Amino acid sequence: MLVHRVDELRLARGMVVGTTEANERSFVSHGRRNSVCDDPVQPDTVFELGSITKLFTVLLLANMMQRGEAELNEPVAHLLPAGTRVPCRNGREITLCDLAAHRSGLPLRPTNLQPSDRDDPYARYTADQLYEFLGTHELLLTPGDVYTYSNVGTGLLGYALARRAASRDYETLLRERILAPLGMNDTVIGLPPRLAQRLASPHNSSLDATPLWNFDVLAGAGALRSTAIDMLTFLEAIADAHSPVGGMVSSVIASRDEGGMGLGAPHPDGGTTIAHAGGTGGSRSSIRYIPQWKRGVVVLSNSNVDAVIDLGVHILDTRYSPLWFRKEVPVEPSVFTRLIGSYQISPGRTLEVTNPDGRLFVRHTSEATRVFPSSEWQYFYKALNAQITFEPGSDGRAARLVLHESGSDQIAIRVA
């Protein structure tokens, strides 16, 4: 399956899968760390984890609860400098549990995030900017009511917990409380030279190298890098009541009514699935574990194509089929010239089709995304779940396109 995804479909430069069952491990890897050297991806290759970091942030909250250093229903404002405004609604303050369970009402990203480098969007977002966002933002949802996935919410949680543990930053606190006790020495935020030599460089959907993501104040949302070996160590520790994290898991998966965060999902055959996925500008990751079965899987990839979650689901339980992916076919570069132009999809929305470097790109907003041919007139995205069909006019050039996205077809007429 990895050969098919890496070599034939070109969904990543390299991928690694690690499984554990009753603490018996197995690894399968295929592909390269990057496009420059021939170093193969291996179980100890370092990948960006992205949002899997959030699971560690939640466990850090559970650890501090055990120590009596924080309370689940404590307002996050109590962990921030005196006088800091945190938005509330209908008299309901945002609690640590709200942040952990994505029920804070905060948006996916802070509204004042305006990165100077779109390839590394969170790198220069500081604590002062976070305070500015909190001080001006008005909630549209009451905290605790509705699940709304939020990077800024979990990033705020990690920052607040580090403040509560005085004179420790997020990474130092996480290493002291979770990573070091588990022996996860290859799980880091800052890359030391010994790990930089084993890094799987991130890539976009064209498999061109793209920068690593770096984080400042929102590190708790997605800053960690790790290996398949370390992630299996983490999963196995979840099911071990005597491990440094085993006693914390119950508060993570228990429902809010039971005094927990409600982050576990019941499996149809019994047990609770603990799962999380992550993505950066050039990496994808997925972990799934059922503690009662002592069965888990980690899948890591060094591209931004979503080709890891379905694989993990299938490997954990083969009754679930993996996804089918379209395969790129070769076409003459001259074919693209008849497709170039502007296509109006609605009065306020125009798609720009361009052909730099012999590749076809479609600009939806401010960012152009590459599309790949499945025939001379049909194209698909690897980074998005969408396809485009071009329809020829009487002059042989495309007269319109049809965008197939989210189960609907939208027609755009060429206007230039």
One digit per residue, the tens of pLDDT, for the chain of length 416 reads: 999 999 999 999 999 999 999 999 999 999 999 988 889 999 999 999 999 999 999 999 999 999 999 999 999 999 999 999 999 999 999 999 999 999 999 999 999 999 989 899 999 999 999 999 999 999 999 999 999 999 999 999 999 999 999 867 999 999 999 999 999 999 999 999 999 999 999 999 999 999 999 999 999 999 999 999 999 999 999 888 889 998 888 888 887 778 788 888 888 888 899 999 999 999 999 999 998 899 999 999 999 999 999 999 999 999 999 999 999 999 998 899 999 999 999 988 899 999 998 899 999 877 889 999 999 999 999 988 899 999 999 999 999 999 999 889 999 999 97
Domain boundaries, the chain: 2-316, 333-414
Whether the domain at 2-316 and the domain at 333-414 fall into the same CATH topology: no
SS (H, E, C) the chain: CHHHHHHHCCCCCEEEEEEEECCEEEEEEEEECCCCCCCECCCCCEEECHHHHHHHHHHHHHHHHHCCCCCCCCEHHHHCCCCCCCCCECCECCEHHHHHCCCCCCCCCCCCCCCCCCCCCCCCCCHHHHHHHHHHCCCCCCCCCCCCCCHHHHHHHHHHHHHHCCCCCHHHHHHHHHHHHHCCCCCECCCCHHHHCCECCCECCCCCECCCCCCCCCHHHCCCEECHHHHHHHHHHHCCCCCCCHHHHHHHHCCHHHCCCCCCEECCCCCEEEEEEEECCCCEEEEEEECCCCEEEEEEECCCCCCCHHHHHHHHCCCCCCCCCCCCCCCCHHHHHHCCEEEEEECCEEEEEECHHHCEEEECCCCEEEEEECCCCEEECCCCCEEEEEEECCCCCEEEEEEEECCEEEEEEECC
CATH 3.40.710.10 fits 2-316, yes or no: yes
**pTM, full prediction:** 0.94
CATH number of 333-414: 2.40.128
